[in-house]
Structure 1
Amino acid sequence: MPTPPPRLNVAQRAFIDRWLPGASVVCDHSWGLVDNVVLEVEAGGERYIVKADGESAHHISRELDAHENWLRPWVEIGRAPRLVAGDRMAKILATTYLPGHLVLDSPAQRRPETFRQAGELLALLHGQAGVTDTSYEQRENAKVLANLDKPHRIAAERERQLRRIVSAWPDTPVTIVPTHGDWQPRNWLDADDQISVIDFGRAAPRPALSDWVRLEARDFRADPAREAAFIEGYGADPREPDAWFRERLREAINTAVWAHLVGDGAFEAQGHEMIERALEEAS
């Protein structure tokens, strides 16, 4: 394919013509669930990744925030892609290509060493300067309650219970640090047993423990050795019980609602399971 596919708009095609002239598509890595495009392209004998948002998506701005502000500790050791160029108005960016295979559903996902390295990498990201946020809890609680107003398949009685719980939570100040936002094997690459990181569309300042939630939902439960190795690599365990419960339950509710809206049945089921586990383990 000598030119990018027609899902890119005029401004996005112009961006590619400027920064990666003559680019041809090697592989389309788009998920198809949301309004964005992820392309592996070749230009000038090198490979790159091009990401572009559609009208309803907002990932590129967060990806650019991450590349411009927080990813240097990973890029300097070759464990994250380097930004080539980006355009916030056109909602597109290009990065260098990282070799490797997705850890998700690969032999690497079963190796504790993978999780030890992932813990080390996350500690590098979180180790950058943190700040106190006096409104984080209030914002996140409001977001959860707003999500419960959207179409979902949470039972009515359970929804009422969740609303009561969330509405009673405190809005105490928290320390926020740069976070990945989707820290799990589907965003890790394995190249000769070395783990690197991709996909920063959910990157934002949050409490450090927020990057532990998606691992707890699946991988830590599948094999406790993964959790132990991750804690070893990270160097500490930030999961203070009350804050951990709030973060887990918010993530569970948001997962169940979002997955229903985009039609991802498996992920929706995981969200419902996360809700039930969080409630059960807190009782």
Structure 2
Amino acid sequence: MSSTKPLPAALKRWAEQRIGPVVSVRDASHDWDRSRVWDLEGERGVHHYLKVSPSVKFFTRESRAYRHIVPALGHTRAPHLIDSRAQDLALLLTAVPGAPAKELGLDAAQWRTVHQQAGALCARLHEAGELDRGDRAEAEASLSAAADGAEKYLARVGDRLDHDEQQLVREHAARLRRVGPVPVGYVHGDNQPRNWLWSTSGLALVDFERARPAARVQDFVILATTQWADHPDREQAFLRSYGRELSDAERHALRCLSALDAVNCLAWGPDNGDAEVTARGRRTLDRLLKEARP
């Protein structure tokens, strides 16, 4: 576990200017060194969150998402931005009810309900407003951009992959460039149960630092390689409320993106001591290799 991260005094003063006195502060960061999030409790027991983004890129994406995209999800379905402080990459957010779905020990029926609500929220997010010219160009280039990352990931993973595994990743990167047109929109970018808060009020989405214009299918990669791999009923529940099945081109892109996600996991996971991410990458790559063999 990482050590508790203290909230800088200047940021506490900034928050109190906007939400009033803070009586307690709890470190709510993820267990990795660049995550910095604090739960601020006010005098009347009202909670807010203060987040310091790990980079300018993530701060820009997340602050823009909260201003222009997230409101489409509806009240209580995501935090709302109270204010941002660019010089510190800081965001002050309302709290939403619930706990991460992955931590709740849900049964099969509850998981289907969670995925059903997640599909509806993703549909709202993906259709949140018209893409302007710049966003559309970025979105339409997103699959090629993902393919461009293959060699970077392979260089990082080094000899953790054998020749056949490296070749499989390169083949899927090449195929991704030939997928053709797929639906585009605004994506969450880290769409998975750790960012789905579940409560009696329903589901809420959090953590929009990777939100961006992209091929919509990119929001399904982590789900396809984890939740849906062994539970097709969850995928069916999600897509029913999402409003449509994936096209053949999207299914092909999803397979290619899964290979790139696998090599990224096998580079990032061991380097950061994340056994869960490492296992996700290993399992996905093993599955793709098995399917590729006659």
TM bucket (normalised to shorter chain) is 0.7 to 0.9
In structure 2, C-alpha distance between the alignment counterparts of 1:241 and 1:209, rounded to whole Å: 8
The match for 1:268 among 278, 281, 284 is 278
Mark the runs of 5 or more structure 1 residues left unpaired by the alignment. none
How many corresponding residue pairs? 277
Q: Are the equivalent residues in 2 in contact too, given 1:208–1:238 (CA < 8 A)? A: no
> Does the residue aligned with 1:178 lie in a helix, a strand or coil?
strand
Deviations for 1:198-238, whole angstroms, at most 9, x for unmatched residues?
Answer: 11122111111111111111211332221111111111122
Q: Are the equivalent residues in 2 in contact too, given 1:103–1:189 (CA < 8 A)? A: yes
User: In structure 2, do the counterparts of structure 1 residues 125 and 149 end up closer, same or farther at CA, with 3 Å as the change threshold?
Assistant: same
In structure 1, C-alpha distance between the alignment counterparts of 2:144 and 2:102, rounded to whole Å: 34
Which structure 2 residues correspond to residues 146-185 of structure 1 after superposition, within 5 A?
Answer: 146-151=152-157, 154-157=160-163, 158-167=165-174, 169-170=176-177, 172=180, 174-185=182-193
Which residue does the alignment assign to 2:242? 234
Alignment pair present for 1:92 and 2:90? yes
Letter in 2 for 1:68: R
Q: Are the equivalent residues in 2 in contact too, given 1:109–1:185 (CA < 8 A)? A: no
User: In structure 2, do the counterparts of structure 1 residues 282 and 236 end up closer, same or farther at CA, with 3 Å as the change threshold?
Assistant: farther
User: In structure 2, do the counterparts of structure 1 residues 238 and 87 end up closer, same or farther at CA, with 3 Å as the change threshold?
Assistant: farther
In structure 2, C-alpha distance between the alignment counterparts of 1:186 and 1:169, rounded to whole Å: 27
* Greater Cα offset, 150-159 or 230-239: 150-159
Which residue does the alignment assign to 2:66? 67
> Does the residue aligned with 2:244 lie in a helix, a strand or coil?
coil
Deviations for 1:34-93, whole angstroms, at most 9, x for unmatched residues?
Answer: 312111111353210111135x6853322112102211111x332111101112331110
Q: Are the equivalent residues in 1 in contact too, given 2:116–2:237 (CA < 8 A)? A: yes
CA displacement at 1:134 relative to structure 2: 4.7
User: In structure 2, do the counterparts of structure 1 residues 230 and 159 end up closer, same or farther at CA, with 3 Å as the change threshold?
Assistant: same
The match for 2:215 among 203, 207, 228 is 207
> Does the residue aligned with 1:89 lie in a helix, a strand or coil?
helix
Letter in 2 for 1:229: A
User: In structure 2, do the counterparts of structure 1 residues 122 and 57 end up closer, same or farther at CA, with 3 Å as the change threshold?
Assistant: same
Deviating 4+ runs (over 4 angstroms): 5-11, 171-175
Letter in 2 for 1:99: P
* Greater Cα offset, 167-176 or 122-131: 167-176
Q: Are the equivalent residues in 1 in contact too, given 2:227–2:234 (CA < 8 A)? A: yes
Alignment pair present for 1:16 and 2:52? no
Task: Give percent identity, aligned residues only.
Answer: 25
Which structure 2 residues correspond to residues 18-167 of structure 1 after superposition, within 5 A?
Answer: 18-45=17-44, 46-54=46-54, 58-74=57-73, 76-108=74-106, 110=108, 111=110, 112-128=112-128, 129-130=130-131, 131=136, 133-151=139-157, 154-157=160-163, 158-167=165-174
User: In structure 2, do the counterparts of structure 1 residues 208 and 165 end up closer, same or farther at CA, with 3 Å as the change threshold?
Assistant: closer
User: In structure 2, do the counterparts of structure 1 residues 177 and 109 end up closer, same or farther at CA, with 3 Å as the change threshold?
Assistant: farther
* Greater Cα offset, 221-230 or 161-170: 161-170
TM-score using structure 1 length? 0.86
User: In structure 2, do the counterparts of structure 1 residues 90 and 244 end up closer, same or farther at CA, with 3 Å as the change threshold?
Assistant: same
Q: Are the equivalent residues in 1 in contact too, given 2:259–2:285 (CA < 8 A)? A: yes
* Greater Cα offset, 135-144 or 207-216: 135-144
Larger helix percent = 2
Deviations for 1:116-164, whole angstroms, at most 9, x for unmatched residues?
Answer: 1111111111123353545323322222211222245632312244235
Q: Are the equivalent residues in 2 in contact too, given 1:86–1:94 (CA < 8 A)? A: yes
TM-score using structure 2 length? 0.83
Q: Are the equivalent residues in 1 in contact too, given 2:50–2:91 (CA < 8 A)? A: yes
Letter in 1 for 2:91: L
RMSD: 2.6
Mark the runs of 5 or more structure 2 residues left unpaired by the alignment. none
Q: Are the equivalent residues in 1 in contact too, given 2:7–2:38 (CA < 8 A)? A: no
